[in-house]
Amino acid sequence: MMNHPAEKMSQNAMRLAVVGCGYWGKNLVRNFAALGVLAGVCDANAEQAAAMAAQFNAMTMDFDTLLGNAEIQAVVIAAPAAMHYRLARQALTAGKHVFVEKPLALNVDEAMELCRLAENHRLILMVGHLLHYHPAFLRLKQLVADGGIGRLQYLYSNRLNLGKVRREENALWSFAPHDISMILALVGSEPDDVTAVGGAYLNRQVADVTTSHLSFPGGERAHVFVSWLHPFKEQKLVVVGERGMAVFDDGEPWDRKLLLYPHEIQWKDGVPVPNKATGQPIPLDESEPLKLECQHFIDCICTSSPPRTDGWEGVRVLKVLQRAQMAMDKPVRTTNQPVFPGATVHESAYVDQPTTIGDGTKIWHFSHILGHTDIGRNCVIGQNVTIGPHVVVGNNCKIQNNVSIYKGVRLEDGVFCGPSCVFTNVNNPRAEIERKDEFRQTLVKRGATIGANATVVCGHTLGEYCFIAAGAVVTSDVPPHALMAGVPARQIGWMSHDGEKLGPDMTCPRSGRCYREAAGRLEEVAAQAS
């Protein structure tokens, strides 16, 4: 039997089953039983399932029997997180509405599949992000939406306790979904940057403590600190706005769970001065959030209304969790990278020792500088560049992406190497024959330009300010200022110091410098007075 949204049903006619009667599932069993809709329970621990069924006047059944029971319209899943996707998929395919405790799944693709499956079968899919149903958070959300604290600036949450320690999922996946979900709801957008760090102390494979940092397109920032290795319990969300601050502290009694601090920062003589104010309790209607959440699921089924925390809301939270986990899994450098105070070396680049790098030089992503290499001042080394060993690069050189400069090559000052240009160092290489003693020297003199994808065969000198066109193959020495093109490269003209091709008047159109050709070489001459 497959439910259709247009088919309204009363709560009295509705029946559901809870899958998982353990640490949290027993609370769901209790609440759905109190709401009069519990028909069955299912758990891998048969004794535990039988005890819960007897206590709340429900049937015990295995999962396949549950799915085949036409009288059960909905399934509530409180099993271990690794089972959420499989169980939810089976239930949706069987035509059951589904409530899944967080997280919806363990990867975004699986979560999106569940959302589309629910939409295709026109079924309710709801995720158990409990705090969306907490009266304090609902009031806080309204306060922010009404502009009660001004434009949001910073949010942070602490979810800390001593235990319950998990072995299947880390603290990020166990604790942080609640806080991430609240932060996304308050900001109203997804973060464009997520970073995270974690520490594993009880089990090297499971992080006990994590801190996640979120940056949003509107300039808002947030962090989430979770741990089950903390001396006391704390569940606190702090929201900072330009005209005030609010604190949702679930550890406080109801009359102080939500406090508004109308603090302001005033600028006096260019100095920010805090204007502190007393926290003002915000009145709340006391109610159990889990009961409200369970009732909301029932109401959504009975009225065919989308849940406040539907599957797509679960996907948004899962995206952040997955990005945070990827940041935590990023390999950490264990080698001691040398420091060059006057230079910039990207964290993904490697510099072997001994190497010298001049002030102002920048070395970008995934590049590798081998030992015994000297790089001058104010050079720019692009991405995926390899230089060395025993290579000298002069000052003010620019080496663009995907260039390799090996032993035997020397660049004087001001040399430009275009993307993917190639230097050889052996004329007749064979993979199976060692020819390191046959390296031939290549000298690229001051101000020379080598175009993209050009090849410079070893053993030659490229003269000052010569210009090698893109794709050319240099097989002989190149005169100073010569413009070379073709395969093999042939001289097709002359280039000025400024990289401009010289015309018949031999005058640089950029600088006005004048030249003449003499004995196959270019000479600069003084400009004649007009």
Q: Is the pLDDT of residue 4 over 50?
A: no
Shared domain check, 180 and 83? no
- Both structure tokens of 201: 């102390």
The pLDDT assigned to 262 comes to: 86
Shared domain check, 164 and 86? no
What pTM did the predictor assign? 0.62
pLDDT, tens digit (0-9, with 9 covering 90-100), for 449-459: 999 999 999 99
Q: Is residue 214 part of a domain?
A: yes
Shared domain check, 223 and 138? yes
Neighbours of 252 (CB within 10 A): 16
Mean pLDDT across the chain: 91
473 phi and psi, to 5 degrees? -120, 110
Shared domain check, 26 and 110? yes
Q: Is the pLDDT of residue 2 over 60?
A: no
Q: Which of 76, 100, 123 is the last residue of a domain?
A: 123
Shared domain check, 154 and 111? no
Tell me how far apart the alpha carbons of residues 62 and 43 are, in angstroms, rounded to a whole number. Answer: 8
Q: Is residue 298 part of a domain?
A: no
Specify the range with the lowest mean pLDDT, choosing from 91-105, 124-138, 263-277: 263-277
CATH (domain of 407): 2.160.10.10
Q: Is the pLDDT of residue 335 over 80?
A: no
Q: Is residue 292 part of a domain?
A: no
- Both structure tokens of 428: 């007749």
Q: Is residue 290 part of a domain?
A: no
**Residue 338 banded pLDDT, cuts 50, 70, 90:** low
The pLDDT assigned to 519 comes to: 86
Specify the range with the lowest mean pLDDT, choosing from 7-16, 92-101, 264-273, 482-491: 264-273
The pLDDT assigned to 10 comes to: 83
**Residue 272 banded pLDDT, cuts 50, 70, 90:** confident
8 vs 452, higher pLDDT:
452
Rounded average pLDDT over 64-86 = 94
Shared domain check, 379 and 323? no
Shared domain check, 19 and 137? no
pLDDT, tens digit (0-9, with 9 covering 90-100), for 18-28: 999 988 999 99
Shared domain check, 172 and 32? no
Q: Which of 93, 123, 153 is the last residue of a domain?
A: 123
The pLDDT assigned to 5 comes to: 41
Boundaries of domain holding 453: 344-525
Q: Is the pLDDT of residue 11 over 90?
A: no
Cα 290–chain centre separation:
32
CATH (domain of 19): 3.40.50.720
| DSSP tag of 510 | T
Residue 18 near residue 28 (C-beta atoms within 8 A): yes
The pLDDT assigned to 7 comes to: 56
Shared domain check, 265 and 151? yes
Q: Is residue 313 part of a domain?
A: no
Whether residue 231 has a cis bond before it, omega within 30° of 0: no
Q: Is residue 5 part of a domain?
A: no
Shared domain check, 25 and 142? no
Q: Is residue 3 part of a domain?
A: no
Place of tokens 């050709």: 517
The pLDDT assigned to 330 comes to: 76
CATH (domain of 213): 3.30.360.10
- The 3-state DSSP composition of the chain as helix, strand, coil percent (nearest 5) reads 25, 30, 45
Shared domain check, 147 and 39? no
Number of domains making up the chain: 3
Tell me how far apart the alpha carbons of residues 429 and 433 are, in angstroms, rounded to a whole number. Answer: 8
The pLDDT assigned to 527 comes to: 63
Shared domain check, 367 and 268? no
Q: Which of 76, 95, 123 is the last residue of a domain?
A: 123
Q: Is residue 303 part of a domain?
A: no
Cα 173–chain centre separation:
16
Percent of the chain exceeding pLDDT 70 equals: 96
pLDDT, tens digit (0-9, with 9 covering 90-100), for 166-196: 877 899 999 999 999 999 999 999 999 999 9
Specify the range with the lowest mean pLDDT, choosing from 156-165, 355-364, 465-474: 156-165
